[in-house]
């Protein structure tokens, strides 16, 4: 079988399975349900596989709601920072639960959503984000209601609340501390609910995470308040499960050894550029340092500096790690650089290309 043409994202089901088994264990041990956060990962070719271990999807827009409803068996939760008048009917038709970001939106769409399971997002005022850009509890945040008295005033209109304030949080003690703060401030309201979503950002599939302690805490929370708990793992579901496969096109030296690959960090790993973080290459332990650069015309289109055992040359292959979360969903056509295909490595080791992109895709994205 001929080698697949780079660039392409490669999803390894055996690595994905490791995360799925932890999610399934947590569900069994804690009683909490897990919904895939489509804002992080929406590659639906593996949804049937993931649905064996997860309970459904949660979304951030109408299109994500529809994708979850059509492609992922199980529950479909709808959330958006703001719904438009011309989309609310479609959102309701494609969801099992709808979560409003504000009391204003809940009131505005009260009549349309009568009879639907409804929730409200609550901003507890604390978070674990190290980046102001991604901090839901930043000053003047628009993400959720924060006043317990105002929320209590509309509690009879909803049956659940959503708290999303973790961000790549691998510290259980910090999670426990923030959940206690939530209980202290909003406990009386929570007691009147049927379900509570604790959002995503809990890195519980990471190496060494105290999964049993998390399961116990979630179970005690659910029992104390008489609620069904939902988690919304995004990164936790797909961490380490995919790579971006690229090929070296050219090399040059300008104070450092530089290699240009057939990809672009701005177009294909945008989240790293936004947060000014380098890509990951494994093993990255050689004696020779090389700067790996993208092929777009952006001067700062640089994946990072890595170490190799031998000088790079055109035709060499490089695999960038962790290329699933907030990566595939943000790919774009900047500079007309060929968008990576999507390939899947099955559990038996065979690899197949499930989607390739060409000029027609590029042209049809514009008008």
Report strand pairing: 97-100 vs 160-163. unpaired
pLDDT value for 37: 98
For 340-357, how does the pLDDT look when each residue is reduced to its tens digit (9 = 90+)? 999 999 999 999 999 999
- What's the number of CA atoms in the CB half-sphere (13 Å) around residue 272? 24
At residue 1, does pLDDT exceed 60?
Answer: no
For the segment 80-107, the average pLDDT, to the nearest whole number, is 98
Contact 67, 49 (CB under 8 A): no
At residue 275, does pLDDT exceed 90?
Answer: yes
Q: Is 182 exposed, middle or buried (0-12, 13-18, 19+ CB in 10 A)?
A: buried
SS3 (DSSP) at 207: coil
pTM of the full structure: 0.96
Count of beta carbons in the 10 Å neighbourhood of residue 67: 19
Contact 159, 193 (CB under 8 A): yes
Please list the helix, strand and coil fractions of the chain in percent, rounded to the nearest 5, in that order.
30, 25, 45
Encoded tokens for 4: 């697949």
For 133-159, how does the pLDDT look when each residue is reduced to its tens digit (9 = 90+)? 989 999 999 999 999 999 999 999 999
For 45-64, how does the pLDDT look when each residue is reduced to its tens digit (9 = 90+)? 999 999 999 999 999 999 99
SS3 (DSSP) at 180: helix
At residue 2, does pLDDT exceed 90?
Answer: no
Contact 106, 120 (CB under 8 A): yes
Report strand pairing: 302-308 vs 117-122. unpaired
Encoded tokens for 87: 């989309």
Q: Is 48 exposed, middle or buried (0-12, 13-18, 19+ CB in 10 A)?
A: exposed
For 182-241, how does the pLDDT look when each residue is reduced to its tens digit (9 = 90+)? 999 999 999 999 999 999 999 999 999 999 999 999 999 999 999 999 999 999 999 999
């Amino acid at each position: 079988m001929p080698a697949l043409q780079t660039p392409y994202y490669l999803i390894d089901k055996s690595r994905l399975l490791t995360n799925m088994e932890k999610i399934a264990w947590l569900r069994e041990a804690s009683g909490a349900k897990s919904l895939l956060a489509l804002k992080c990962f929406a590659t639906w070719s593996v949804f049937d596989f993931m649905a064996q271990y997860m309970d459904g999807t949660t979304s951030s827009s109408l299109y994500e709601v529809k994708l979850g409803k059509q492609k992922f068996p199980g529950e479909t939760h709808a959330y958006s920072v703001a719904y438009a008048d011309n989309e609310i009917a479609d959102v309701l038709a494609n969801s099992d639960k709808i979560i409003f970001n504000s009391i204003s939106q809940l009131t505005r769409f009260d009549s349309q959503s009568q009879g639907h399971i409804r929730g409200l997002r609550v901003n507890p005022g604390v978070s674990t984000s190290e980046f102001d850009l991604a901090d839901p509890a930043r000053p003047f945040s628009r993400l959720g209601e924060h006043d317990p008295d105002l929320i209590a005033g509309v509690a009879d209109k909803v049956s659940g609340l959503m708290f999303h304030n973790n961000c790549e949080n691998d510290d259980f003690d910090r999670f426990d501390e923030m959940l206690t703060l939530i209980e202290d401030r909003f406990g009386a309201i929570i007691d009147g609910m049927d379900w509570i979503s604790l959002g995503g950002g809990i890195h519980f599939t990471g190496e060494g995470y105290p999964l049993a302690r998390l399961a116990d805490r979630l179970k005690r929370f659910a029992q104390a308040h008489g609620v069904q708990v939902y988690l919304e793992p995004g990164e936790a579901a797909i961490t380490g499960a995919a790579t971006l496969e690229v090929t070296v096109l050219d090399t040059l030296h300008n104070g450092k050894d530089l290699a240009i690959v057939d990809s672009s960090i701005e177009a294909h790993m945008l989240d790293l550029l936004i947060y000014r973080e380098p890509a990951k290459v494994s093993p990255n332990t050689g004696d020779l340092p090389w700067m790996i650069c993208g092929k777009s015309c952006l001067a700062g289109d640089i994946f990072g500096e890595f170490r190799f055992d031998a000088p790079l040359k055109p035709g060499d292959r490089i695999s960038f790690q962790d290329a699933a979360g907030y990566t595939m969903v943000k790919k774009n056509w900047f500079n007309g650089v060929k968008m990576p295909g999507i390939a899947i490595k099955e559990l038996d080791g065979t690899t197949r290309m499930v989607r390739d992109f060409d000029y027609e895709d590029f042209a049809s994205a514009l008008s």
